């Protein structure tokens, strides 16, 4: 196929799941200066839902601990439906594994920031993420795991 026939269309972007917990409030607001340890976990998954149409879900979980106690746990599953037509199979993995999550990230970032603020905590803005690097790491890890399995047999 020629490049003119390649199409990438965002059909829908939506929140699939949202969770916020503040197990140690109101004490979390009164225990000294706010200098939490922040842990951010990012995962994505995808599934083919129709011919050339994929649902991609970006899951971002933020845990903030203050003096070893969880101040809050916020999780957002930001999803999108993408039509991806005419790309070589090699590029398709990168589209759903890196490009689509990168497209969803600003929405997840905004939802998390708002959720954390509404929970009574200072605004938290996540730094940009290099989804291409994450995707490449994931592929390298999968290759290594396959080689390790072969070596074990």
pLDDT tens digits for 51-106? 999 999 999 999 999 988 999 999 999 999 999 999 888 889 999 999 999 999 99
* pTM for this predicted structure: 0.87
Please give the CATH topology (third level) of the domain spanning 3-152.
Bacterial Protein-export protein SecB (3.10.420)
Who's near 53: CB < 8 A, 6+ residues apart?
A: 11, 81, 82, 83, 84
Of the spans 6-10, 89-93, 141-145, which averages the highest pLDDT?
6-10
**Domain boundaries of the chain, sorted by first residue:** 3-152
The two structure tokens encoding residue 8:
């990438």
Dist. CA 40–CA 89, nearest whole Å = 31
Query: Where does the chain show beta strands of DSSP type E?
Result: 7-21, 37-50, 53-66, 69-85
């Amino acid at each position: 196929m020629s490049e003119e026939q390649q199409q990438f269309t965002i059909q829908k972007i939506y929140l699939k799941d949202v969770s916020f917990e503040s197990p140690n409030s109101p004490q979390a607001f009164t225990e000294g200066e706010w200098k939490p340890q922040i842990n951010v976990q990012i995962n994505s998954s995808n599934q083919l839902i129709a011919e050339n149409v994929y649902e991609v879900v970006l899951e971002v979980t933020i845990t903030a601990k203050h003096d070893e106690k969880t101040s809050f746990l916020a999780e957002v599953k930001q999803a999108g439906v993408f039509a991806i037509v005419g790309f070589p199979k090699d590029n398709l993995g990168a589209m759903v594994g890196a490009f689509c999550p990168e497209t969803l990230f600003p929405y997840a970032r905004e939802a998390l920031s708002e959720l954390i603020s509404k929970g009574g905590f200072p605004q938290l803005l996540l730094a940009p993420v290099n989804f291409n690097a994450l995707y490449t790491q994931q592929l390298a890890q999968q290759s290594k795991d396959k080689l390790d399995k072969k070596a074990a047999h």
